[in-house]
């Protein structure tokens, strides 16, 4: 394998040992400014329909081109319809404008657009690792808070607002303060029925809504190294709910095997060079972290949220704690009440958290040969067109439909209510990431859980333990 010496080398900023986050960061510093701020090169820019088109419009109006169009991928996921036979229209108020601007902006700036009729379309954080748009060691931004999801493959990815998105599009760079590394070590032997979602929700419960505020979380420990890439994506996705700036799992053999199968992965000599670099992307043993936390997963149960934040969570067999009155009132719950058996009228499987093929397989395993309880509205929205096609090839769509689930086209769908469809007024068990007030519809009461728990609850018509056959 050929290796090239960099033409210009930069002296290391400090002599201390580095975490993986600092190593990726250091690779991307174009210039250091006063006070530690850096101008950072952004390898990929992902753009979605909720605000992405308006950002492209601003560039157009300013007469400013996109700096590196080949580094940009746009997709329509947030406001698109997910019903079968969709046309590419939107039910969301203003959605038609958002989609029209995205399409016009992508055309004008020469960007690859994964529109609803493209086989590559899907939720932005599902498609970017799945297609090899995101790769280990790359920096990436997107106008979405869950962009850190792709830290699961070892990319350093940040969610940004649309003004910073515009800066990244126009210059290929962002001005940023250096990352503040935090190590979260997950220890113990994770019980078989406990998913990455359960681990992540438990973590939110232990560390709190701002338990990683402003930090870049590196997940380590035997539970993490034993996770599949899809599980790591789920774990990193929910670091956002601890107010982490982003999250990452250092790439390992599991990552490299996953990336090798993606359509846009480097090939040939480029692949060898990439693997050599990725193999070096791990934290030095004595790397320093601003904060550390260790959480044991050995005794975990499947988790279900009871409140209006992902940190308000208990084991499925637990009782509602004496939490904030506001959350209890909104959720219509009392302290001491068990969650098991609480009647529901909605079940949702989807989102950038839990709509990959392994999630759908887990839910289908629970649903096979069973049916959703009467009066439960159950919906499954695959995270991408590729996930949907794979699920259909495995016959999972038949299982979902036979059980009484609606089987959808890919998109963000009812993870949030942007207008159009909603769970207004309903109690819902959902595989999504936010149980905020009114998130899934006016007065909707959302209980976050894993896809298996959602499936078991849909069948029971009440919050149920997926471990109970």
Partner 1 sequence: MSSAIGKGPVRSGLVAPLLLDHVNTDVIIRSRDIPPRASDDFGRALFACWREGTGETFVLDRPEYRGASILLAGANFGCGSSREAAVWALRDAGFDCVVAAGFGAIFRANCVQNGIVPAVLDPAWHSELAALATAGPVEVTVDVERLAVVLPDGRAAPFPLDPLQHLQLATGRTAIDLIDEHTAAIARFVDDDARRRPWAVPTTSEEAQ
Among 19, 121, 128, 167, binds partner 1 (CB under 8 A): 167
Sequence-separated (6 or more) residues with CB below 8 Å from residue 288? 16, 17, 19, 181
Helix, strand or coil, per DSSP, at residue 454: helix
Task: Enumerate residues 84-103 that contact partner 1 by CB under 8 A.
Answer: 92-95, 97-98
Task: Enumerate residues 348-377 that contact partner 1 by CB under 8 A.
Answer: none
Nearer to partner 1, 172 or 383 (CB): 172
| Closest separation in Å from C-beta 361 to partner 1 | 26
| Closest separation in Å from C-beta 309 to partner 1 | 6
Q: Do 138 and 248 form a contact (C-beta atoms < 8 A)?
A: no
Distance CA 441, CA 268 (A): 49
Task: Enumerate residues 28-57 that contact partner 1 by CB under 8 A.
Answer: 30-31, 33-37, 39, 41, 43-44, 50-51, 54, 57
* Using rule CB under 8 A, residue 62 touches partner 1: yes
| Closest separation in Å from C-beta 158 to partner 1 | 8
Task: Enumerate residues 257-296 that contact partner 1 by CB under 8 A.
Answer: 263-267, 270-271, 273-274, 277
Q: Do 184 and 212 form a contact (C-beta atoms < 8 A)?
A: yes
Q: Which two tokens stand for residue 347?
A: 């079940």
| Closest separation in Å from C-beta 400 to partner 1 | 26
Among 13, 83, 86, 112, binds partner 1 (CB under 8 A): 112
DSSP assignments along 298-351, one per residue: TT---EEE-SSSTTSEEETTSB--S--HHHHHHHT--TT-BSTT-B-SEEEE-T
Give the range of 81-89, 165-173, 334-342, 445-453 binding partner 1 by CB under 8 A. Answer: 165-173
Among 130, 164, 218, 465, binds partner 1 (CB under 8 A): 164
Task: Enumerate residues 191-210 that contact partner 1 by CB under 8 A.
Answer: 209-210
Q: Which two tokens stand for residue 196?
A: 């990455």
Q: Do 387 and 129 form a contact (C-beta atoms < 8 A)?
A: no
Percent helix, percent strand, percent coil in the chain, to nearest 5: 35, 20, 45
| Closest separation in Å from C-beta 434 to partner 1 | 7
Task: Enumerate residues 405-434 that contact partner 1 by CB under 8 A.
Answer: 416-419, 434
CA-angle at 435, arms to 429 and 440, nearest 5°: 75
Q: Which two tokens stand for residue 339?
A: 């969650």
* Using rule CB under 8 A, residue 11 touches partner 1: no
Among 1, 7, 15, 322, binds partner 1 (CB under 8 A): 7
Among 143, 149, 220, 453, binds partner 1 (CB under 8 A): 143
| Closest separation in Å from C-beta 320 to partner 1 | 19
* Using rule CB under 8 A, residue 213 touches partner 1: yes
Instruction: Give the CB-side neighbour count of residue 141, counting CA atoms within 13 A.
Output: 22
| Closest separation in Å from C-beta 416 to partner 1 | 5
Instruction: Give the CB-side neighbour count of residue 414, counting CA atoms within 13 A.
Output: 28
Nearer to partner 1, 168 or 463 (CB): 168
* Using rule CB under 8 A, residue 385 touches partner 1: no
Nearer to partner 1, 39 or 293 (CB): 39
Nearer to partner 1, 78 or 427 (CB): 78
Q: How many residues bind partner 1 (CB under 8 A)?
A: 84
Instruction: Give the CB-side neighbour count of residue 70, counting CA atoms within 13 A.
Output: 1
Residue ranges of the alpha helices (H) in 52-130? Answer: 52-62, 95-109, 124-130
Among 170, 206, 340, 402, binds partner 1 (CB under 8 A): 170
| Closest separation in Å from C-beta 178 to partner 1 | 10
DSSP type of residue 153: G
Task: Enumerate residues 171-190 that contact partner 1 by CB under 8 A.
Answer: 171-175, 177
Nearer to partner 1, 170 or 293 (CB): 170
Sequence-separated (6 or more) residues with CB below 8 Å from residue 469? none
29 bridge partner residues? 40
Q: Do 356 and 386 form a contact (C-beta atoms < 8 A)?
A: no
Helix, strand or coil, per DSSP, at residue 139: strand
Pairing mode, strands 427-430 and 406-407:
unpaired
| Closest separation in Å from C-beta 449 to partner 1 | 19
Give the range of 218-226, 287-295, 437-445, 454-462 binding partner 1 by CB under 8 A. Answer: 437-445
CA-to-CA dists, residue 88 to 78, 85, 250, angstroms: 12, 9, 38
* Using rule CB under 8 A, residue 245 touches partner 1: yes
Handedness of CA 356, 98, 108, 162 (dihedral sign): negative
Among 81, 166, 230, 465, binds partner 1 (CB under 8 A): 166
């Amino acid at each position: 394998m050929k290796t090239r010496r960099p033409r210009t080398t930069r002296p290391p900023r400090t002599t201390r040992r580095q975490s993986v986050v600092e190593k990726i960061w250091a690779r991307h510093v174009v210039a250091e400014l006063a006070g530690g701020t850096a101008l950072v090169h952004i390898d990929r820019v992902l753009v979605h329909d909720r605000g992405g088109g308006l950002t492209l419009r601003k560039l157009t109006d300013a007469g400013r081109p996109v700096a590196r169009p080949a580094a940009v991928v746009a997709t329509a996921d947030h406001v698109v319809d997910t019903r079968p036979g969709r046309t590419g229209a939107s039910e969301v108020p203003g959605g038609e404008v958002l989609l029209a601007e995205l399409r016009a902006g992508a055309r004008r700036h020469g960007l690859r657009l994964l529109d609803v009729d493209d086989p590559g379309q899907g939720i932005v954080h599902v498609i970017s690792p799945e297609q090899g748009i995101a790769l280990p060691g790359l920096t990436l931004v997107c106008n979405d808070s869950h962009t850190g999801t792709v830290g699961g493959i070892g990319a350093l990815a940040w969610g940004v607002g649309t003004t910073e998105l515009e800066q990244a599009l126009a210059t290929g760079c962002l001005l940023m303060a250096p990352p503040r590394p935090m190590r979260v070590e997950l220890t113990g032997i994770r019980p078989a029925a406990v998913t990455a979602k359960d681990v992540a929700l438990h973590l939110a419960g232990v560390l709190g809504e701002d338990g990683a505020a402003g930090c870049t979380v590196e997940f380590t420990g035997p539970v993490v190294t034993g996770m599949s890439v899809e599980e790591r994506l789920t774990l990193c996705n929910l670091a956002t709910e601890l107010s982490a700036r982003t999250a990452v799992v250092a790439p390992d053999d599991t990552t490299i095997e996953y990336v090798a199968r993606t359509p846009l992965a480097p090939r040939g000599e480029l692949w060898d060079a990439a693997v050599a670099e990725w193999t070096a992307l791990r934290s030095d043993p004595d790397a320093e972290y601003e904060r550390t936390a260790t959480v044991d997963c050995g005794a975990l149960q499947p988790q279900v949220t009871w409140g209006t934040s992902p940190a308000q969570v208990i084991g499925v067999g637990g009782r509602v704690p004496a939490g904030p009155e506001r959350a209890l009132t909104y959720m219509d719950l009392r302290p001491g009440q068990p969650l098991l058996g609480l009647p529901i009228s909605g079940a949702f499987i989807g989102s950038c958290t839990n709509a990959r093929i392994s999630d759908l397989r887990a839910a289908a395993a629970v649903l096979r040969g069973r049916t959703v309880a009467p009066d439960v509205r159950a919906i499954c929205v695959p995270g991408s067109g590729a996930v949907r096609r794979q699920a259909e090839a495995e016959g999972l769509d038949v299982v979902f439909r036979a059980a009484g689930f609606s089987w959808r086209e890919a998109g963000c769908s009812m993870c949030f209510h942007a207008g159009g469809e909603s769970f207004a007024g309903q109690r819902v068990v959902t595989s999504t990431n936010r149980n905020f007030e009114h998130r899934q519809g006016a007065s909707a009461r959302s209980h976050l859980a894993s896809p298996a728990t959602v499936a078991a609850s849909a069948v029971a018509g009440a919050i149920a333990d997926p471990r109970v056959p």
